[in-house]
Amino acid sequence: MRRMRLFYEAAPAGCGDFIPFWHDGAYYLFYLHGRERLDVGLLVTSDWTNVQDKGIVLAKGGDDDQDRSIGTGCIVRRDERFHFYYTGFNPAFKSREGAHEQVLMRAVSDDLVHWTKDADWRLAPGPSSRYRGDEAWRDPHIFRNEEDGRYWMILTTQTREGPAPERASERRTGLGCVALFASDDLDEWEERDPLLATGWYDAPECPDLFRIGDWWYLLFSEYRDLWTMHYRMSRSPRGPWLAPADDALDGKAFYAAKTAFDGERRMLVGWTAGKEGGKDGGKYEWGGCLTVHELGQRPDGTLTMRPPDSIERGFRSAATSAALRAPVETIDAGAGLRYDLLSEMPDLCMISVELEWEPGTAGCGLLLHAAPGLNDGYMLWLEPGRGVLKFDRWLRPWDYPAMERTCALSGTRARLKAIRSGTTIAVYVNDETALSARAYELQGGRFGLFASGGRAAFRNVSIGTPEL
């Protein structure tokens, strides 16, 4: 049996924006690869526990080509052929009369692996367009809208009108929008009013639009605020769009994700950013490792995230109750912090625990790769009073950035799961909230339990190792 391999990261530059596509029992995961100039690579997987790297399948052009660098796009199947709509970037064209830095382009294929660029098709912003494409005209997402009877395309761009800057010396911001176009044949596109005009973001990147049940969802990533993925929801694909109280999908390290639907499950596929120098305190870099969450839906329509079933099945559940003092371990931290270190922690595992805290408890959670005496270690915190899930490091170096995100907690109980592989950790609370993080410097050690500023009980603690 093949060894489980999670959070795949293509050498040498990692994986950039993913373009996932489901076909014939497998996920085809196209991704941007490179640093300053980008090609398109391809990963193929059927179960998320192993991937096959097909290498570069669509190469960037030359210095004087529109696609000197390639940007995000989408795959559409029509008449037994696959059409890859992508963004061609050439910064040198921005100041060239009659040219554009960003233009939509197309390639075609019969097998999703071998692609031919279509030199006869391009879509650029026109002078009479309601959109201005000098700053953003990229990331097309196309699907067949059966309600409208036409193909819809949404893309990242800006409106011509927006809020004025506070000072004349500042550039105009908040023009970012998700534009809408419609077509009968995928060749000619009719411009429509924006699907979403944000009034805040400069460019809502990598948009995705899909339906689950009675709700439509519009996903996008943004870099102006916190480098975060957001979503909006509506009963209609045209809006109006609602922003849920927690509109984030994962945390700061997870970016540019899009979805694929296999007929039963909708998977959210993105990357968890690497850090400069492979250091915990390093700055986040563009691109990273493959990270996937399975999307679900609460009764009120808001989205949930959980690990894919195939990944959970790939771990052998091995109860660690023998390492506990009792079937239910209670930690009373008083006004301080108390902990209990349990079994050794392998670098590839899934840890699961049920927590229950007394009202007023400041925090509780898991210790990962902890050193004896807790001289070092990573911490997964639930802070019930703040409604926050946090990933941190104990005895944190001064330059180590803790990561946190909103986590709705009802009552005084939660189930926490942590999947660790390589340098990446994906955390899930109640199979609803996800947080992905990098952890480079600590390996080995033990995992454990802790409480802070109160009292917490821990049940059904288990650590799963891969089935080999």
360 in a structural domain: yes
Residue 225 maps to a domain: yes
Residue 171, classified by CB atoms within 10 Å of its CB into exposed (0-12), middle (13-18) or buried (19+), is exposed
Do 174 and 53 belong together in one domain?
yes
**Which of 279, 295, 312 is the last residue before a domain boundary?**
312
Residue 66 burial (CB count, 10 A): 21
Does residue 12 form part of some domain?
no
Classify residue 411 by burial, with Cβ atoms within 10 Å: 0-12, 13-18, 19+: exposed
- Closest by Cα among 194, 176, 454, 240 to 330: 454
Give the residue numbers spanning the domain of 64. 18-312
The pTM of this model reads: 0.94
- In angstroms, the CA 140 to CA 154 distance is 6
Residue 312 phi, psi (nearest 5): -60, -40
Contacts of 189 (CB under 8 A, 6+ apart): 123, 153, 181, 182, 183
CATH number at residue 213: 2.115.10.20
Do 171 and 63 belong together in one domain? yes
State how many domains the chain has. 2
Q: How many CB atoms lie within 10 A of CB 223?
A: 14
Residues 299, 368, single domain; the answer is no
Q: What is the pLDDT of residue 314?
A: 84
The CA distances from residue 437 to 211, 383, 398, 431, in Å, are 28, 18, 18, 17
Considering the domain architecture, whether residues 433 and 362 belong to the same structural domain is answered as yes
Say if CB 222 and CB 232 are below 8 A apart.
no
Based on the fold, state whether residues 254 and 210 are members of the same structural domain.
Answer: yes
- The helix or strand, by DSSP H or E, that contains position 313, with its residue range, turns out to be helix 309-313
Same domain, 335 and 186: no
Instruction: Find out whether the peptide bond into 12 is cis, omega within 30 degrees of 0.
Output: yes
Residues 375 and 270 placed together within one structural domain of the fold: no
Cα(first)–Cα(last) distance of the chain, in Å?
A: 6
339: its two tokens? 């902990």
Do 218 and 197 touch, CB atoms closer than 8 A?
A: no
pLDDT value at position 224? 72
Looking up residue 420, the CATH number of its domain turns out to be: 2.60.120.560
- Closest CA relative to residue 391, chosen from 438, 452, 359: 438
Q: Does residue 428 share a domain with residue 285?
A: no
Would you state the structure tokens that stand for residue 264, as one six-digit string? Answer: 């039963």
pLDDT of residue 23: 97
Dihedral sign for Cα 380, 385, 386, 387, please: positive
Domain boundary among 312, 332, 356: 312
Are 288 and 169 members of one domain? yes
* Cβ-count burial 10-38 (b if 16+ within 10 Å, e if not): beebbbbbbbbbbeeeebbbbbbbbeeeb
Instruction: Say how many residues make up the chain.
Output: 468
pLDDT, mean of each 10-residue run, the chain (468 residues) = 82 94 98 95 95 97 97 95 98 91 98 97 90 91 95 94 51 78 97 90 94 97 84 97 95 96 97 94 93 97 96 69 63 96 91 96 97 94 96 80 89 96 96 96 94 96 79
Say if 98 falls within a structural domain: yes
Alpha-carbon distance 23 to 81, whole Å? 12
Whether residues 371 and 243 share a domain: the answer is no
Instruction: Compute, in degrees rounded to 10, the torsion defined by CA atoms 33, 218, 246, 417.
Output: -50
CA distances from 113 to 35, 46, 83, 215, 286 (A): 22, 16, 12, 34, 25
Residues 155 and 42 in one domain: yes
Residue with tokens 């390996």: 443
Domain boundary among 312, 345, 361: 312
Alpha-helical segments (H) within 37-122: none
- Contact between 310 and 49 under an 8 Å Cβ cutoff? The reply is yes
